[in-house]
Structure 1
Amino acid sequence: MFLDILRRRNPKFVEAAMALHREGRIPVNSYVLDLDAVQANARVMKTEADRLGLKIFAMTKQVGRASSFSHAVIRGGIDRSVAVDMACARATHRAGLKVGHLGHLQQVARHEANAAAAAFKPDYWTVFNDVKADEAAAGAKAAGYVQNLLARIKAEGDTFYRGHEGGFDAADIAEVADAFDRLDGGRFAGITTFPALLFDHQTRKVVPTHNLATLTKAAEALAKAGRRDIEVNAPGTTSSVLLEALANAGATQCEPGNGLHGTTALHAVEDLPELPAVCYLTEVSHLSGGKAYCFGGGFYIDPIFPDYDVKAIVSDEPTVAASALRSVEVPPPSMIDYYAMIDASGPNAPKPGDTAVFGFRGQAFVTRAYVVGVSGISTGQPKVETIENSFGETEAWPV
């Protein structure tokens, strides 16, 4: 879905990634990052967030929590991360980002709460129920501070992805806030949900969900109860062009993830300020039955779009030419993606060793792919900065 945008808006990145692979400096099965573009994207986001008075936390899971990605984000002016799980918290903390938000989307496990508080002292910690609030507060007390707690809320009509459900009833938010303030080691700081914004396929626009209205209504109820300085955390489909809508709805925090590498759903249909800055790169292994089999391992294609004709650039030299495009059959999620199958019919058929570049929107943290950070593309001097696994840990590649 994003390959045409990569070819048109960031062709030097695609060609540099292919050249580095041809030279043996990037492994197959890699998410490759244009760190110069990431830095520029982060600067655009931070500038707009500052203008609107929004706190901004960087999401890193989609690109495997890569340390070089975190460093580029820091250079772009964003110094805090949102950690969707403890692995994200460890990786971003290790890379130099302060943990700004922990516990959303995934709660912190019972026996990790003390360690999370002691190691990270997150600015905000989301909890879904009283038990998790108790654990977070106890961990903070043991670490010698008072934890700002965000209540994940829900109401009739809200939208949640399957497996993401949970939270306090929004109608009870005033009582929830009072309960948090009675905790030894915790205090009520605000409210959150996900998703607050969502791409609509029919209109090809990003629209507010019912969840955002739930946040607004809950914030109003808290204000009527005499509470001030309420944090409203409203993540989902974040580009710089959408931040004003969030601020106007009362949000105080935003959490760009795919926006930092130009792969939100809206980036697929509009040219937004953020450049596409990630591709998936692999290599043809062998031919069989009219197909060229390329190495897999990273083919988790985020299912935000209906099924479409996945294509790849397949070539033995750097190119973004349309003539190098080939249709690809990707194994379904129920199968292990040892390989994907590239159409090998017609002239200039793929051959073993050819580079294959994809532009799908990925979720590198749920794959077994490498993540490779490349700097210097904007100056014509590309350099591989990091080769890591999906936990942001250095890989001893090729051995």
Structure 2
Amino acid sequence: MFLDITKKRNPNLIKTAFELHQNGLIQPDTYIIDLDNIVDNARKIKKEADEYGINLYFMTKQVGRNPIVCKELMKLGYSGAVAVDFKEAMGLKENGIKLGHVGHLVQIPTNLVEDIVSAKPEVITVYSVEKALEISKAAEKLGFVQNIMLRVLDEGDNLYPAQYGGFYLNELLDKAKKIKELSNINICGVTSFPCFLYDSKEKYIKETPNVETLKKAQKLLEDNLKIKIQQLNMPSATCVSSIKNIAKQGGTHGEPGHGLTGTTPYHAENQGEEIPCLVYVSEISHNLKEESFCYGGGNYRRSHMSNALVGKSFEDATNVKTKSPSLESIDYYITLKSNANVGDTVVMSYRTQIFVTRSSVAVVKGIKEGKPEVLGIYDSQGRKIK
């Protein structure tokens, strides 16, 4: 999905991938993060956001919750990290990363509420009165007021399976009134997901119906309950290209994830401001009939992987078509549609969510200057591998 554009815009990353693998510095099933370019991308997004008055929380799940990347982004002035589930929140906390937004897309389990609230996230999203009560009790015990957002939805919104939850507009006032009465939380915002998606026909990132739902929710809460909504959080596909539209729609916050690595669907078809800076590296294991097989572990069901570079170096590599594993199969191997030499390096670039893989992550600096240095190798959850 992103291999051709990466060859064009960041060839040194692919060269580095071949060199590191052939020299035994990384093993198959490793993602390489080009640290210098991810920081440059983050800086560009932040500059655009500052111009339009948009605050940013950075997502870490796409890059394996990597602490090196997180700490570099914090230096740029980001408001904190997005923890889309409780495991991410705990890992970020342990690594000393400021929690910006917790609870969206996954709510905090009951027995972890106090632990996560003690980290004083900037905001926590809740889906229920019950969860709001738990957060209020924890904040009361800890001696402060916790800001929360309500996830809102309406019929016709764009929602993904396995991510359902929140307050429908027709019940919002009743539920928000009960939450407002709790002593140690403050309703400061509303959110939904996804608020923006790339339209391949119109070639730009456009708002979904969820944005209108957020605006309706804001009006309901402000007009009827006198709740001042300070945050209209509009995540998904946040990058330089979409910031202006967030502001146009009245949004206050964005949450770049794939934008940081230059790998949103927009970047697959357009030359965005961000440089692609993430590749997947494997190795040919064996051949069978007219196909070859490289080690797997990094497949993501929405990857749209289509081709790979195979060889001993970037200069002599051959472009080979790939075949994604079927949904019911474990990706022990990824199939390539031609024979190749056992031990050859395989480099791919596709849409991923590293945190749902069993891959390793190599963070490398100096790629732009042709002087790559591996800063560390981590697992997919941000834990350093010795």
TM class, shorter-length: over 0.9
Contact kept? 2:188, 2:227, Cα under 8 Å: no
| Counterpart AA for 1:268 | A
Q: Work out the CA distance in 1 between the residues paired with 2:51 and 2:69.
A: 24
* Counterpart residue number, 1:70: 70
Alpha-carbon distance between aligned partners in 2 of 1:79 and 1:209, rounded to the nearest angstrom: 25
CA distance in 2, matches of 1:49, 1:116: 28
Which digits, 9 at most, give the CA deviation of each residue in 1:20-66, with x for residues without a partner? 11111112101110000110011111111122222210001011111
Q: Which residue of 1 aligns with 2:377?
A: 387
- Cα deviation for residue 262 of structure 1 reads 0.6
Instruction: Return the alpha-carbon distance in structure 1 between the equivalents of residues 79 and 22 of structure 2.
Output: 35
How many angstroms apart in 2 are the aligned matches of 1:261 and 1:90? 24
Q: Is the 8 A contact 2:85 2:103 kept in 1?
A: yes
The secondary structure found in structure 2 opposite 1:377 is coil
The alpha carbon displacement at 1:229 in A equals 4.6
1:315 to 311, 314, 325: 311
The alpha-carbon deviation at position 152 of structure 1 amounts to 0.4
Partner of 1:335: 329
Query: Are the aligned partners of 2:188 and 2:228 in contact in 1 as well (CA < 8 Å)?
Result: no
1:185 & 1:77 partners in 2: Cα distance?
Answer: 28
Q: Decide whether the 8 Å contact of 1:239 with 1:259 is kept in 2.
A: yes
The alignment partner of 1:32 has SS state of: strand
Kept in 2, the 8 Å contact 1:73–1:79? The answer is: no
Residue matched to 2:358: 368
Displacement, 1:172? Answer: 4.0
When structure 1 is superposed on structure 2, of 179-188 and 103-112 the one drifting more is 179-188
With the length of structure 1 as denominator, give the TM-score of the two structures: 0.92
CA-atom RMSD in angstroms: 1.7
Contact 2:159–2:193 under 8 Å retained in 1:
yes
| SS at 2:162 equivalent | coil
User: What is the alpha-carbon distance in structure 2 between the residues aligned to residue 93 and residue 376 of structure 1?
Assistant: 28
Cα deviations by residue, 1:133-155 (Å, 9 ceiling, x for unpaired):
11111222222211101000011
Percent identical across equivalent pairs? 35
Task: Tell me how far 1:238 sits from its aligned partner.
Answer: 1.1
Higher mean Cα deviation, 255-264 or 179-188? 179-188
Scaled by the length of structure 2, the TM-score of the pair is 0.95
Contact 1:38 1:72 in 2 (8 A): no
Counterpart selection for 1:356 from 346, 354, 359: 346
Asked if residue 325 in structure 1 is aligned to residue 319 in structure 2, the reply is yes
- 2:15 is aligned to 15
Distance (whole Å) between structure 2 residues aligned to residue 318 and residue 93 of structure 1: 39
Mapped to 1, the partners of 2:297 and 2:216 lie a distance apart of 44
Structure 2 counterpart of 1:163: 162
Partners in 1 of 2:227 and 2:180 — Cα distance?
Answer: 12
Rounded Cα–Cα distance in structure 1 between residues aligned with 2:76 and 2:24: 30
- State the secondary structure of the residue aligned to 1:101: strand
For each residue in 1:159-189, what CA deviation from the matched residue of structure 2 results, as whole angstroms up to 9, or x when unmatched? 1001111111224444444332211221111
User: Helix, strand or coil for the counterpart of 1:15?
Assistant: helix
Residues 1:54 and 2:42 aligned together: no
Q: Which residue of 1 aligns with 2:139?
A: 140
Gaps of 5+ in 2: none
Q: Distance in 2 between matches of 1:180 and 1:230?
A: 17
- Take 1:378 and 1:100, find their aligned partners in 2: how far apart are those partners? 30
Is the partner of 1:314 in helix, strand or coil? strand
Partner of 1:36: 36
State the distance in 1 between where 2:95 and 2:249 align: 33
Q: May I ask how many residue pairs the two structures share in their alignment? A: 385
